[in-house]
Amino acid sequence: MRRELGMSIALVVMCLGLFASNPDFLGQSNAINLLRQISMLGIFAIGISFVIITGGIDLSIGSVIGLTGVLIAKISSPAAGGMGLSLWIGIPVALAVALLIGLIQGLLITRLSLQPFIVTLGGMLLLRGISQTIVEGGTLSLGGSPLLDLANGGFLEIGGDPLIPYPFLIFAAVIALGTYVLHYTVFGRYLYAIGGNRDAAAYSGIDVKRVETASYVISAGLGGVAGVCYASYIGQMSQQVGVAYELYAIAAAVLGGCSLRGGEGTVLGVVIGSAVMRVIDNGINMFQLPYVDDEGIPRTFRLDPNWTFVIIGTVILAAVILDQVAHLVQAKRNLRRAGGPAPPATPSVQPTATEKPTADA
């Protein structure tokens, strides 16, 4: 829990610093929107953490999110270009497609022994091309679909903004279910065992292929759930929705303690990592620092939004470096313990000076 505690402290420090620079950071509108953004990222970041814990990677989750939204807009949108069918048809179909994508990718990786990086990279490009074909290079609007209430609605409305948005409730359900599956079930132990030592897991009787395939299905399924939320939040879908989302999810998982080697990570850590990523993203726009220039004119320094990917890329590299350093330190510590002085041998019982040797001696 030390990494989770450290990330929690860093998150609090960042929030306090941003609030000190701009009190609007914790204003109702920005705070609720930030909570909504954290929730939508956290949903599919938890999904991808299941894959990372097994030692795999899923680069297609951003395209799954985009394709899910595109399918919902195509099937259920009442606007031009949509089929105008019920959301009770559009959403289940889109989620079923997402689960099917995860199953196909999992089978390709486990049954044909293909590299997860290559399979999911190909899936990322293929799915994005399918989305582009469906929208014909443009956009599909959800029009006045009731789905838009999912992102904008919630409970305890004050001033027109809900204090508890619906995406947060979905996120809370995913956290509860993910925590139970990952930390309190045999399946969760299997995931850690596969990530720790795949061969040892197979020799111990774990069906490695089935469990690993299930992790990709979970990742794609939660990507589909996040796609529903993003479709309701954005309101119009194109092939650009979901681009680079997988990088945010991987960064959130790694920041939260998931090792890219596999075998490590917690749901709580992923939640904290998701919050850190979205606070950084939001903080780039909210941070401001008043100063007086050489001519005595008061001005305000703001971060350049063009630095967003520079900062996020730096954070990802820093997280990977810290993960590597932590493993090196742990390896040296284990080696030092293994090479320590041997315990003293038990002294043999010697006859005392007053004892006389027996006749046999």
pLDDT tens string 221-242: 999 999 999 999 988 888 888 8
Tell me the C-alpha to C-alpha distance, in Å, between residue 43 and each of 76, 136, 214, 341.
23, 29, 17, 49
SS3 300: strand
Greater model confidence, 229 or 151 = 229
Instruction: Name all domains of the chain by residue range, CATH numbers in brackets.
Output: 2-336 (1.10.3470)
53 within 8 A of 198, measured Cβ to Cβ: no
> Crossing angle of helices 267-286/308-338, nearest 10°?
150
174 within 8 A of 46, measured Cβ to Cβ: yes
Per-residue pLDDT at 359 exceeds 50: no
Distance CA 115, CA 78 (A): 41
Distance CA 202, CA 61 (A): 27
Q: Which stretch of 165-179, 182-196, 341-355 has the lowest confidence by average pLDDT?
A: 341-355
Question: Which of 11, 1, 56 minimizes the C-alpha distance to 265?
Answer: 1
The average pLDDT across 347-354 equals 51
Question: For residue range 305-327, what is the model confidence (pLDDT) as tens digits?
Answer: 787 778 878 877 877 787 777 77
Per-residue pLDDT at 152 exceeds 60: yes
Amino acid at 334: N
pLDDT number for residue 344 = 58
> What is the four-CA torsion angle of 123, 129, 133, 136, rounded to 10 degrees?
140
Distance CA 281, CA 265 (A): 23
What kind and span of H or E run contains 164?
Answer: strand 161-165
**What is the number of residues in the chain?**
361
Q: Please write down the HEC assignment for all residues of 67-79.
A: HHHHHHHHHHCCC
Determine the Cα angle at 40 with ends 272 and 10, to 5°: 20
28 phi, psi to nearest 5 deg: -60, -45
SS3 276: helix
Distance CA 69, CA 179 (A): 27
Distance CA 9, CA 27 (A): 21
Tell me the C-alpha to C-alpha distance, in Å, between residue 296 and each of 291, 292, 299.
9, 5, 9
Per-residue pLDDT at 158 exceeds 80: no
Interacting residues of 264 by C-beta distance below 8 A, sequence separation 6+: 53, 192, 195, 257, 258
Question: For residue range 288-309, what is the model confidence (pLDDT) as tens digits?
Answer: 877 777 677 777 777 777 877 7
Give the percent of the chain with pLDDT over 70. Answer: 92
